[in-house]
Structure 1
């Protein structure tokens, strides 16, 4: 047994060294697939860990925090701090108030946040400095430790030339406030929030400067002995009731994962594609290798080797070649993950940190790549070992191998079965995993059928090439017939890459078009007015009364939690609006409403504070529809809301409940608004209104076109994560074409030498191999355009199941560009083998043959 095993390994090593091109392509194909998978796995986990780390770092030595329900940015109920301090087991309670603002000098460049939870400017935290020493939350690097005064994040201060003793002017509800900088903070604890752009000051001056109530508290962090945490948490929840939430640092930020789910589904799809393509690439390589070694395999069987022993050399070769490729891919995935984490962090409105080291995750992903390589070589190895030994010995290794009719019919049956599955389980109503699996099976079936089709296509193209370009091009165009399995699967890799580009591009076009249409409607107001410190009630009334303003709506967003009738809970945003103004504006598309008046009445219905609108994303996530009830957790206790209608809206990434502004005032204690949306009487009033707004201290206005463009830029950034992953898929397709041509050139050295001895010029040899690459790529591109159009429809339909319905947009331009790119990429793929073939010495090659 050991001798047979050793023979299999030695044969595998010898073949790997004899066919360096096949070895290299196997290695690079697995590396590309593993790198894509690893980048998404590590990058998404890095973004999620960044959110978790931000809360844990800010906690310092505290173990529990008491916050408003759903992490709403509102004060805790009066008396909360005193109630907490009476709970046995609480060693220390650290209160704070939190808000955001901006320096007066930077107001002109300030842009309002777009992401849920995003802080645009300076994060202000008022704390009780007498309680903070030894808690690890405030870490000075310059200045006298924890003396009363304003402390700035070191990086924020250095970038602006601020230092202890500098004067700091900030925008506040009453105009502006001035502080003296007493010291600088390390990027640790509370100083790590908002990327280090933080201000920490005594709680009382912050309350006075920003118009907060004398006893206002945003959060209380608690120091609790480790062995009593569960006991203390239980007592706190019993004592505080519904008016506050008791959470541990690691439990915060869960809403971020929900916001990333839809985006993550797309990146998971594209990351697994490269590995899927790698499987077909390796299958093609080793199917050709099995045919090449028919005589050798037959001789092994004749001298007593079992079928398993005869199949082992091919499997050992795949294993030997894939191990370094998988390790290389796992290493390359880490730097690629940094880009993925950056994009996800933007969606999460958090600072992107380097993805954490995860050796075990790297091992698992590398193992997946190795397993894919071995399984891809398994079928060719079994097929080669099962051939009758004497027939295999008599076979000529270099002969063309016709695709098996049985295998071709099986692949075609797989494609038909996948289509039948998509018809029986429509993507619009089925789970994304089922839809994705059926889509991959359809691609696999189409790819597996290509070896039977590429021969006739190559023959037709050969006749056309002979008529228009000459004999060298004609021989090259007919080249795929010589190894139809290898060439067909190489074309299949191109098919997969082009098809996936078409499918994902259609979704991207649909998303962008949908967002553009939504922005024109929901963001169609003439002006959006904000202030870094928020709009107080007096300013809201002043804006509503401005000359030239036809209608105005305050808009306020608060984080919260809702509970469906079946008990499921979800962290989201509650958006308060003027129902009458939004109804008159026609800013919302109501699902199922057939007439504009019906839509307006449904939107106006939320003037009743027990009514709400839900977005289509939320409706899908929680399974709620019109007429059902939701329980909204608020600082004043739970509120039961009846859903009036479902709307197509992407405010707060679609995780939102739309209610009356009055409800937020009553239940969340809101005074004023986050922004005002203004509709003017006539366009000519725009300049005059903007002049009036510019005269108001701290107020910034933004036109609809500017806000819309910022939203679309955000969408483009989110979709860009898939571009690099599609590029990896393209690399695998390019490797497939290049390897097919290179192996063809190597195996046909004798034929090329014979042609050279008969008078074929060097340039004709080069043209022959280039033509073979172009024909292989062209077959895959044409098939990819057809399959890509179907995938585009499948993926677009599947978005309905995720609550983000995207209209089907035929990706003609993307498919055409991808096909042209595949054809152009075939030229450099053929360059190296063509260059080597052109240098073949006829006499030397004929001696080798």
Structure 2
């Protein structure tokens, strides 16, 4: 039987290649996903571990940071050679070119504890010396031997007079991306770092986030770790000593919840591709069994039993699954390596491996998955092979009889579908009622249950839908009528093929509909909550004498107004006032104990040209002091309270407090610009509100605005910035997901080809008879083309409807907390899906049609 199986495979190599491609693509995705997950996990943990350089152990406190006493005890443990204290510290560095905020780390006593390496110069060894990351040095225009300054900090953390000059002694590189998120870290002497930490901690020694340490050559790491934990873990206090990889893995889990989350998500889509491939494999083996009906019957006549025939089909499936899976693994690894090579040529912020990491799981999981899916898919055709009667070899094969699903299947599918859609509706309703957690807990299982019910019951309703669509097409001529009748001759196979397409299309449309609904919902929420596109906000407060170090002068505001894409600007001015009376709405005294609080001002007429929703401007009148509800709730102010404000020159303004739920651009307490200039003629422009021309694509405009204010120490923010970030994330995720699901659609289209091929085989004599009575080659080819289009359009059309419903329900369940849900329809994407389906149906019919028209009527009518 083995030789016979191999011989049959050689004769059917063309059809087996089509099935093998389906399983190969599925296993390639599994392999590539596992490699990508391993690369992401390893890269992320290595990047986290890089902060600790080559530490033998990392000591951390659970719950609270390590106190200075605990740090000293760690250093005193026998076997500890050197320690490096990890604490968050940042300082402002300035040159005549610009100023930046930079993280600072000390030079370690053991070079193995330094995460960065010297490119030029040397590491700091004395107070007053620093080494700068190369990119930071370029931005500051600093070189080895030059100087930078930092504001002097008093021991209580407040600004002291003057500035501290630091000598640049080295330029650094960060080869392992230890400080990639911060753009590198400045290195200073331990003495300077300790002094700055004490100053920022109010005159006391600062606690440590962690302590990295190296061990003596003869020290046992496990023993030292146990000693540290037993010494410091007392009275409910728990201190742990971890290896470098253990610490990195723990941090990764804290940040992501699970370091393998991305892998699991993508594997789910790879599994979907394998499931659809299984449907294609099942149809392919049905074709093969139908082709070999007479051969199998003859084998029964010469003594082959049912078990041998079943074993032969399953052996063929095993060999196919093995070869296709191995090819898929090679394809997946090759694609991953090419991707890694391309990424390695770009600056992605973290070091990447040069060769894809390969583990036993990368080979075993795709191989077993491919084999399992192929063998399971061939099980039903194998049973069909055993049902071939020996006498079937003595007569021509008849067309298959129409077989529908069982009553039990109908009842099960109906219950699952109805129950699932009810749960899905309840989940959507819960989301709309601002209960997204309940909505997701009910809606996701409901959607999955209903989807399975739809797939299980497809044999009952897909043929009916196909018949209805076919009845419309039948009016165009005899070829269309024949095609419609052919799709209904084997409803199980037609349903299986359309279901394969339906699964992929449904998920593609669900993701695109959900993404578009989420995008529009978020945009509407941004417009409602934040009516300003971009706000350039001053980052420092005014001092008591009115000095403003972040003033936006006329030159800066003019440059921003001239940025391409900016259509309007409105200034926010800031000044100093005093409030008369004991019960005043200011809680903070500034500068020498004098109650001279900061107040902002906006001109409502100018702001109306900038803001997309001017509702927040209504309270701003010249006799009103407008205060946000959040600010008022923490002060002694009440709505309608009368307040007298006094300016620096003695001018006064009697105002009425207006407490409002929201204010433009995050303002807390403000008056009109006219009122503030009356009180403080020296008030300066501190912030700027900006409107951009196209809020859907603001990236370049926002970047240009940021370039203008890069050196001013101000903060550029606003809903347009958040919307741009949201769009980038949603577009990237959608591209990945749709790309993965497109694989399932592609595999399903192979199934359409196989189904049409089986149709040609079963109707060989019938097609010959039609040719004999006058049906032309063109009409026969058109019949198969219409049949392929019917299968593709029905599966795609139903997938579009289901996907839209699922996308809307998922959006309602998940996005209810963001306000009114925008149930969007991505017409462009839906149109693209339908166009692809039509083209795919045409392409899928080419080979079967060629086979059908190539056989002459006389040859097809002959009895073997």
Scaled to the shorter chain, the TM-score interval is 0.5 to 0.7
Identify if the C-alpha distance between structure 1 residues 730 and 361 changes in structure 2 by more than 3 Å, giving closer, same or farther. same
TM-aligned CA deviation for residue 228 of structure 1: 1.8
Give the secondary-structure state (helix, strand or coil) at the position aligned to 2:716: strand
2:26 to 24, 30, 33: 33
Give the secondary-structure state (helix, strand or coil) at the position aligned to 2:83: strand
2:52 to 51, 59, 65: 59
2:745 to 715, 724, 730: 730
Range moving further from structure 2, 752-761 or 273-282? 752-761
RMSD, aligned α-carbons: 5.5
Alignment pair present for 1:180 and 2:179: no
1:133 to 86, 94, 111: 111
TM-aligned CA deviation for residue 371 of structure 1: 0.4
Give the secondary-structure state (helix, strand or coil) at the position aligned to 1:720: helix
Identify if the C-alpha distance between structure 1 residues 789 and 157 changes in structure 2 by more than 3 Å, giving closer, same or farther. closer
Give the secondary-structure state (helix, strand or coil) at the position aligned to 1:690: strand
1:226 matched to which residue of 2?
A: 221
1:381 matched to which residue of 2?
A: 382
1:254 matched to which residue of 2?
A: 253
TM-aligned CA deviation for residue 104 of structure 1: 7.5
TM-aligned CA deviation for residue 430 of structure 1: 8.2
- Deviation string, structure 1 residues 110-167 (Cα, Å, up to 9, x no partner): 9xxxxxxxxxx996442234x032446444455557777554557x589989997386
Identify if the C-alpha distance between structure 1 residues 412 and 759 changes in structure 2 by more than 3 Å, giving closer, same or farther. same
Q: How many pairs align?
A: 705
CA contact (8 A) 1:122 1:198 kept: no
Alignment pair present for 1:93 and 2:71: no
TM-aligned CA deviation for residue 446 of structure 1: 3.3
1:705 to 708, 716, 720: 720
1:319 matched to which residue of 2?
A: 318
| 1:739-750 equivalences in 2 (<5 Å) | 739-745=754-760
CA contact (8 A) 1:29 1:278 kept: yes
- Deviation string, structure 1 residues 64-87 (Cα, Å, up to 9, x no partner): 33457679xxx9655553343244
TM-aligned CA deviation for residue 375 of structure 1: 1.1
1:403 matched to which residue of 2?
A: 403
Range moving further from structure 2, 457-466 or 818-827? 457-466
Alignment pair present for 1:496 and 2:496: no
2:475 matched to which residue of 1?
A: 467
| 1:413-452 equivalences in 2 (<5 Å) | 413-417=412-416, 419-420=418-419, 423=422, 439=447, 442-451=450-459
Give the secondary-structure state (helix, strand or coil) at the position aligned to 1:252: helix
TM-aligned CA deviation for residue 541 of structure 1: 11
CA contact (8 A) 2:534 2:721 kept: no
- Deviation string, structure 1 residues 272-299 (Cα, Å, up to 9, x no partner): 3222212222223334444444454455
Distance in 2 (CA, whole Å) between partners of 1:372 and 1:453 is: 26
| 1:658-677 equivalences in 2 (<5 Å) | 677=666
CA contact (8 A) 2:107 2:123 kept: no
1:827 matched to which residue of 2?
A: 842
Alignment pair present for 1:690 and 2:691: no
Identify if the C-alpha distance between structure 1 residues 510 and 704 changes in structure 2 by more than 3 Å, giving closer, same or farther. closer
Range moving further from structure 2, 368-377 or 248-257? 248-257
CA contact (8 A) 2:55 2:214 kept: yes
CA contact (8 A) 1:123 1:194 kept: no
Identify if the C-alpha distance between structure 1 residues 251 and 454 changes in structure 2 by more than 3 Å, giving closer, same or farther. closer
Alignment pair present for 1:283 and 2:282: yes
- Deviation string, structure 1 residues 652-700 (Cα, Å, up to 9, x no partner): xxxxxxxxxxxxxxxxxxxxxxxx9546767999994437995984333
| 1:243-392 equivalences in 2 (<5 Å) | 248-258=247-257, 267-301=266-300, 303-334=302-333, 351=350, 353=352, 356-385=357-386, 387=387, 389=389
Q: Which runs of 5+ in 2 are unaligned?
A: 153-158, 431-436, 553-570, 576-627, 637-664, 677-682, 690-707
Q: Which runs of 5+ in 1 are unaligned?
A: 1-6, 111-120, 552-599, 609-675
Give the secondary-structure state (helix, strand or coil) at the position aligned to 2:111: coil
CA contact (8 A) 2:537 2:688 kept: no
Give the secondary-structure state (helix, strand or coil) at the position aligned to 1:400: coil
CA contact (8 A) 1:738 1:829 kept: yes
Alignment pair present for 1:771 and 2:758: no
- Deviation string, structure 1 residues 498-547 (Cα, Å, up to 9, x no partner): 2212333343234434543554466667766679xx96997999799999
- Deviation string, structure 1 residues 459-516 (Cα, Å, up to 9, x no partner): 5555544532x33444344432455433331111111112212333343234434543
Alignment pair present for 1:238 and 2:226: no
Identify if the C-alpha distance between structure 1 residues 143 and 703 changes in structure 2 by more than 3 Å, giving closer, same or farther. same
| 1:25-174 equivalences in 2 (<5 Å) | 25-66=18-59, 77-98=67-88, 124-129=103-108, 131-135=109-113, 137-140=115-118, 143=121, 150-151=130-131, 156=135, 165=144
CA contact (8 A) 1:90 1:222 kept: yes
Larger Rg: 2
Identify if the C-alpha distance between structure 1 residues 715 and 200 changes in structure 2 by more than 3 Å, giving closer, same or farther. farther
TM-aligned CA deviation for residue 362 of structure 1: 3.0
- Deviation string, structure 1 residues 718-739 (Cα, Å, up to 9, x no partner): 4433121111121122222222
| 1:544-623 equivalences in 2 (<5 Å) | 548=572
TM-aligned CA deviation for residue 378 of structure 1: 1.2
CA contact (8 A) 2:537 2:687 kept: no
- Deviation string, structure 1 residues 582-630 (Cα, Å, up to 9, x no partner): xxxxxxxxxxxxxxxxxx999998999xxxxxxxxxxxxxxxxxxxxxx
- Deviation string, structure 1 residues 801-826 (Cα, Å, up to 9, x no partner): 9x999969465735554344322322
2:619 matched to which residue of 1?
A: none
Distance in 1 (CA, whole Å) between partners of 2:29 and 2:63 is: 35
1:717 matched to which residue of 2?
A: 732
TM-aligned CA deviation for residue 792 of structure 1: 3.5
CA contact (8 A) 1:33 1:272 kept: yes
Distance in 1 (CA, whole Å) between partners of 2:68 and 2:688 is: 41
Distance in 1 (CA, whole Å) between partners of 2:415 and 2:121 is: 73
CA contact (8 A) 2:502 2:795 kept: yes
Give the secondary-structure state (helix, strand or coil) at the position aligned to 2:400: coil
Identify if the C-alpha distance between structure 1 residues 231 and 67 changes in structure 2 by more than 3 Å, giving closer, same or farther. closer
- Deviation string, structure 1 residues 545-565 (Cα, Å, up to 9, x no partner): 9994699xxxxxxxxxxxxxx
Distance in 1 (CA, whole Å) between partners of 2:529 and 2:193 is: 35
Distance in 2 (CA, whole Å) between partners of 1:269 and 1:810 is: 26
TM-aligned CA deviation for residue 789 of structure 1: 4.5
Distance in 2 (CA, whole Å) between partners of 1:398 and 1:844 is: 17
Distance in 2 (CA, whole Å) between partners of 1:537 and 1:338 is: 55
Distance in 1 (CA, whole Å) between partners of 2:847 and 2:91 is: 60
CA contact (8 A) 1:293 1:397 kept: no
Identify if the C-alpha distance between structure 1 residues 746 and 704 changes in structure 2 by more than 3 Å, giving closer, same or farther. same
Identify if the C-alpha distance between structure 1 residues 12 and 202 changes in structure 2 by more than 3 Å, giving closer, same or farther. farther
CA contact (8 A) 2:103 2:182 kept: no
TM-aligned CA deviation for residue 777 of structure 1: 0.7
TM-aligned CA deviation for residue 775 of structure 1: 0.7
Distance in 1 (CA, whole Å) between partners of 2:264 and 2:825 is: 20
Give the secondary-structure state (helix, strand or coil) at the position aligned to 2:22: helix
Give the secondary-structure state (helix, strand or coil) at the position aligned to 2:755: helix
Give the secondary-structure state (helix, strand or coil) at the position aligned to 2:687: helix
Identify if the C-alpha distance between structure 1 residues 252 and 793 changes in structure 2 by more than 3 Å, giving closer, same or farther. same
TM-score, normalised by the number of residues in structure 2 = 0.66
TM-score, normalised by the number of residues in structure 1 = 0.67
Distance in 1 (CA, whole Å) between partners of 2:240 and 2:667 is: 36
Distance in 2 (CA, whole Å) between partners of 1:525 and 1:774 is: 50
